[in-house]
Structures are given as C-alpha cells and as structure tokens.
Chains A and B, each alone.
Chain A
Amino acid sequence: AQTVTQSQPEMSVQEAETVTLSCTYDTSESNYYLFWYKQPPSRQMILVIRQEAYKQQNATENRFSVNFQKAAKSFSLKISDSQLGDTAMYFCAFMKLWAGGNKLVFGAGTILRVKS
C-alpha cells in the first residue's frame, strides 16, 4: 500500500518570503501522479499543483513549484512571494495510474501560516 508522509505539522513564513513544504511517499509503482492540495479556513480543498511521475521536469504554477525527486520519493512544494491568502492546510497526495478510478492517498497535512 502507498503511504504519504508530511513531516512538518505546522510552519510559518513572513509575507513575501519563500517557504518549502516537505512530502515523501512510499510506493513500488513506476507510473503515478502527485498532487498538492490547499485547504483554506473555508475548508474547501483546492488543487494547487500536479506532477506526473514520468515527467522529469518539475511542475510550476505561478508562485508555486515542486521539487520532484523520483528516486528519493520526495515531492516538496515551494511557495514564493508568500501572501496572506496562502494561509491554509496543505496536503500532499499520491495517485497510482489504475483503471479503478482516481483513488488518492493523502498525507496528514501541514498547516502554513503567513504572517504580515
């Protein structure tokens, strides 16, 4: 079974600075997807960024980028120019490519607080 580990329960960062959230996962699969989801205080989960395991290039979405290290099974999220609206719980998630549907395995989450 796949597992996802987020070792940082809480983090804080000053507005406009950069922060990196860590995620490691365990799998024997070679083809899979990795995701970072954001859950703000409103509790609605929002997709931040997605990485396909077969792509060597790290995904980026505006101020959000990932450092995907397939051999090390590591998938960290970097948030640049942090904004107050980035304050949220961030979940790392794994999904293997499988005909049975999009079953995501989530980590326990990291609470990020952006301070002014």
Chain B
Amino acid sequence: DGGITQSPKYLFRKEGQNVTLSCEQNLNHDAMYWYRQDPGQGLRLIYYSQIVNDFQKGDIAEGYSVSREKKESFPLTVTSAQKNPTAFYLCASSMDRITGELFFGEGSRLTVL
C-alpha cells in the first residue's frame, strides 16, 4: 500500500542526545515536510523539501536538521540545541503545489527525560 511510514512511533532520550526520526514515502511525491505538534498550538512547520538535495527552513527550524538524499526519505534530527524537544512529530508529503493536499504519516512521539 502507498503511504508514509514514520519510525519509531515512540522514542525516549536523555537530555543532550541527538535523535533522528525516520520518514519514508512510496507515493512518488516530490515534496516532503516535517511538522511539530504541541497541545494547544496546532502544527508548526520545521523544515520542508521540494526536491532531492534541497530543503528550506520552516517557522521553527532552530535545533533541528534534515537531509534529502533520496526522493523517498526525509529524516529529521533533533539536536541537543533544541531547547524543548518533547513533542509529537508529523511527516507529510505532497504531490504538487496546486491541490495543496498533504498526506501524513502516523507520527513519532519524542520524550526527552
């Protein structure tokens, strides 16, 4: 089945450790996105990529890094510089800029102890 796979679903880390969240899609979509979800704040854009080997910062990129070496993959690294990393992270992809529809993964819950 076509879709977006995020892993792991749950992740616990100690303060000061970098962690990488995986996002893989088999929808053949060009664009991919990372959103952060916090209670009462909706979704906020961290990074996005429209094409392989290119990505741009979103609204809250500080403390995060990404790569886009393959069309199917868009991993997100939460670095130790991110001051409040505990959150729910959603990866999404879209086919084009016209319809605007985003397809989402099931999310990854990161808890920093």
Q: Is the Cβ of B31 less than 8 Å from the Cβ of A91?
A: no
**B2 CB within 8 Å of chain A:** no
- Give complex CA distance A99, B51 in Å: 13
Q: Is the Cβ of B100 less than 8 Å from the Cβ of A108?
A: no
Contacts of A103 on B, CB cut-off 8 Å? 45, 48, 58
Q: Is the Cβ of B101 less than 8 Å from the Cβ of A50?
A: yes
Q: Is the Cβ of B90 less than 8 Å from the Cβ of A50?
A: no
Cβ-defined partner of B104 (8 Å) among A4, A33, A44:
A44
Least CB distance, B47 to chain A, in whole angstroms: 11
Residue of A nearest to B88 (CB): A43
Q: Is the Cβ of B102 less than 8 Å from the Cβ of A102?
A: yes
Least CB distance, A77 to chain B, in whole angstroms: 15
The count of residues in chain B whose C-beta lies closer than 8 Å to any C-beta of chain A is: 26
- Give complex CA distance A50, B99 in Å: 9
Q: Is the Cβ of A101 less than 8 Å from the Cβ of B50?
A: yes
Cβ-defined partner of B102 (8 Å) among A100, A104, A108:
A104
Q: Is the Cβ of A33 less than 8 Å from the Cβ of B100?
A: yes
Other 11 A-B pairs with CB < 8 A, given A4-B42, A97-B97, A104-B43: A9-B40, A42-B106, A43-B88, A45-B104, A50-B99, A50-B100, A101-B31, A101-B48, A101-B50, A101-B94, A102-B100
Interface residues, chain A, with chain B CB atoms under 8 Å away? 4, 9, 33, 35, 42-47, 50, 91, 95, 97-104, 106-109
Interface residues, chain B, with chain A CB atoms under 8 Å away? 31, 33, 35, 40-45, 48, 50, 56, 58, 88, 90, 92, 94, 97, 99-102, 104-107
